[in-house]
Amino acid sequence: MPQPWSRRNFLQSGIGTAAMTSMAGIAASETEDHQIGEASSQHELQTSIAVIGGGLGGCAAALAALKAGLNVVLTEETDWLGGQVTSQAVPPDEHPWIESIANPSYAEFRKRIRDYYKRNYPLTHEALTDPFLNPGRGNVSKVCCEPRAALAALEEMLAPYRANGQLRVLLEHVPVGAQTEGDEIRAVRLEDRANGGEKIIHAPYFLDATELGDLLDLAKVEHVTGAESQGQTGEKHAPEKAAPDNMQAITWCFPVEYRHGEDHTIDRPDRYDFWRNYVPPLSPPWPGPLLSKSYTHPITLEPISRPIDPIREGKNEVSGFWRYRRIRYAGYYEPSFPGHDISLINWPMNDYVEGNLFNISPEEKERHTRDAKQLSLSLLYWLQTEAPHDDEKGQGWPGLRLCPEITGTEDGLAKAPYIRESRRLVSKFTITEAHVGTEMRMEITGLPKEEVKALPFGYSVGIGSYRIDLHPSTGGDNYIDISSLPFQIHLGSLIPVRVTNLLAACKNIGTTHITNGCYRLHPVEWNVGEAAGYLAAWCLKNGKNPHQVYHTEELREDYQIRLKDENIPLSWPEFRPR
């Protein structure tokens, strides 16, 4: 067993070596009875695989390792697993072929969401018999759902492994330190924010699935933030100069319902005057105050406006912001069940660009998170009191009501801000716009748009598809929203250039600021996590490390066979999805 590490022995960097073979041996002996082992005290845990971060990537990574027969400790900062779809309250952004082309485990997750509604809610016959039920009838996804439904689906998938002792979940545990030796992480220290104190996890493998790539920073694993320059990446849409602090906006999302004839106006937010007159300092320019019906079209960057009327949109008369991320459609419920449509507010008007959450003091981080909340509350107050009606015959909808029962919070806002961009691993292979961007692929290949494809990867560990979709940024960029092609996930993007027992397991993989825009979305994060979980498990069972898998064709192919055995698609079918 590894020796316990005291608080003073925890470093954020280290020099030395350790033997992966001995660590693999420890893991093999522990997995025989599928139990999480205690180290030298109740505050220390020994496990085969430690997954730090309980978002979609972390849950998928844990499930893969558990299916492979290993024991896992899974940690999460909030009191809900699920990340983007639960604590951040965002319904999934997915490619249009997700019903037929998806990792089986992700398809199971989606099916369980639908089954949850059908088992527990008084749905109409139409909804109960719809195999493709979209609970909110929102436009962004075919499973626009409430956060608790996604949470229930994840908990169901993990339940058997909790019951047999393979899995231990540590909620409200935040990574605060890492002990390293040479090119390995030996242990991670976690602060228990629910009960006080701390825990230390020892493991042969650590998977970073945190929302901000925190373990990369704590363990001094090589990583980047913000935008790389054109000279660094050769990308068509990269800036001339690198900007490490230029990150996509965070958004503090919140669900609201509309109750006609009632008044649910919140208290005037403390910073309402500031946000009411705020014009984002972006280039090309934003069309005016942020709290407005006008915003910048993500693709053309021209000023546009979109309907925001909860009355008309609730009747499906128009399609605008209200319906885009609607997570409850009241028309799917029996008349005896009281309720209203609920829309998740993740709009251009509450994208926060005044600062990022990286490489700053705790006080600055607290200020930015507080201000992001103030922006969202100011947007709600503006909608309730001042927003002009689409018919120009009135202003404000005081019947808009926050839904704390949906988010599980006191204030009705999500438990955590929606994070679009993480620290990114400096990896064995970096995915750039030249690999997946439509314009660059056309220029490189000379093929027309109807024939061009993303660069095929023989190192593929999964697939995904989404536009390169970058929201306004803290560095002053307006939207960067460009076409990309259905792509593969490169094995090398999960593997650090140096550290041998850490894998990236979510949106912190080796992409650039540009390609993060299409690799950051929900199904891709799941697929990345699943690939990382199976890779760590394969390495432990075969006494190898990820660097050896990456550099040895025979080992790589054997690992890919393991993925294929799970029916994980490694390439897109022959037809050309668009």
Domain containing residue 427: CATH number: 3.50.50.60
Amino acid at 40: S
Give every CB contact of residue 314 below 8 A, 6+ residues apart in sequence.
258, 322, 330, 340, 341
Residue 25 has pLDDT above 70, yes or no: no
Confidence of residue 35 (pLDDT cuts 50, 70, 90): very low
Q: Rounded CA gap, 378 and 538, in Å?
A: 49
| Alpha carbons within 13 A on the beta-carbon side of 308 | 29
Confidence of residue 276 (pLDDT cuts 50, 70, 90): very high
Per-residue confidence (pLDDT) for residue 28, from 0 to 100:
33
Q: Rounded CA gap, 14 and 179, in Å?
A: 7
Residue 535 has pLDDT above 50, yes or no: yes
Residue 305: beta bridge partners? 294
Confidence of residue 452 (pLDDT cuts 50, 70, 90): very high
Does residue 542 form part of some domain?
yes
Per-residue confidence (pLDDT) for residue 42, from 0 to 100:
65
Domain range for 400 is 250-407
Per-residue confidence (pLDDT) for residue 17, from 0 to 100:
30
Closest CA to 141 of 103, 94, 104: 94
Average pLDDT over residues 154-175: 98
Instruction: Check whether residue 276 and residue 325 sit in a common domain.
Output: yes
Instruction: Check whether residue 75 and residue 9 sit in a common domain.
Output: yes
Instruction: Check whether residue 463 and residue 384 sit in a common domain.
Output: no
Per-residue confidence (pLDDT) for residue 359, from 0 to 100:
83
Residue 298 has pLDDT above 90, yes or no: yes
Instruction: Check whether residue 208 and residue 327 sit in a common domain.
Output: no
- Answer with the one of 361, 379, 407 that is the final residue of a domain: 407
Instruction: Check whether residue 476 and residue 571 sit in a common domain.
Output: yes
Would you say 513 and 521 are in contact if contact means Cβ atoms under 8 Å apart?
no
- Answer with the one of 407, 438, 461 that is the final residue of a domain: 407
Closest CA to 469 of 346, 362, 304: 346
Does residue 129 form part of some domain?
no
Confidence of residue 317 (pLDDT cuts 50, 70, 90): low
Residue 554 has pLDDT above 90, yes or no: yes
Instruction: Check whether residue 73 and residue 222 sit in a common domain.
Output: yes
SS3 assignment for 368-427: HHHHHHHHHHHHHHHHHHCCECCCCCCECCCCEEECHHHHCCCCCCCCCCECCCCCEECE
Residue 513 has pLDDT above 80, yes or no: yes
Residue where the block lists tokens 């960067």 = 480
- Answer with the one of 407, 432, 460 that is the final residue of a domain: 407
Instruction: Check whether residue 297 and residue 427 sit in a common domain.
Output: no
Amino acid at 168: R
Per-residue confidence (pLDDT) for residue 318, from 0 to 100:
65
Average pLDDT over residues 320-348: 93
Query: Which residue blocks in 264-326 are alpha helix, DSSP H?
Result: 272-276, 310-314, 321-324
Per-residue confidence (pLDDT) for residue 37, from 0 to 100:
57
Does residue 112 form part of some domain?
no
Confidence of residue 22 (pLDDT cuts 50, 70, 90): very low
**For the chain, what is the domain count?**
2
Query: Which residue blocks in 121-146 are alpha helix, DSSP H?
Result: 125-128
Instruction: Check whether residue 428 and residue 507 sit in a common domain.
Output: yes
Instruction: Check whether residue 427 and residue 561 sit in a common domain.
Output: yes
Instruction: Check whether residue 5 and residue 61 sit in a common domain.
Output: yes
Per-residue confidence (pLDDT) for residue 309, from 0 to 100:
85
Residue 511 has pLDDT above 90, yes or no: yes
Please give the structure tokens belonging to residue 177: 């330190």
Per-residue confidence (pLDDT) for residue 26, from 0 to 100:
33
Closest CA to 135 of 159, 154, 157, 111: 111
> What pTM, to 2 d.p., does this model score?
0.92
Residue where the block lists tokens 């190898």 = 544
Given CA atoms 430, 246, 507, 188 in this order, what sign does their dihedral have?
positive
Per-residue confidence (pLDDT) for residue 360, from 0 to 100:
87
Instruction: Check whether residue 11 and residue 159 sit in a common domain.
Output: yes
Instruction: Check whether residue 446 and residue 394 sit in a common domain.
Output: no
> To the nearest whole number, what is the mean pLDDT of the chain?
91
Give the model confidence (pLDDT) of 48-95 as tens digits.
999 999 999 999 999 999 999 999 999 999 999 999 999 999 999 999
Burial (CB < 10 A; 0-12, 13-18, 19+), residue 488, is buried
Would you say 72 and 48 are in contact if contact means Cβ atoms under 8 Å apart?
yes
Q: Helix (H, G, I), strand (E, B), or coil: what is residue 508? A: coil
Per-residue confidence (pLDDT) for residue 107, from 0 to 100:
98
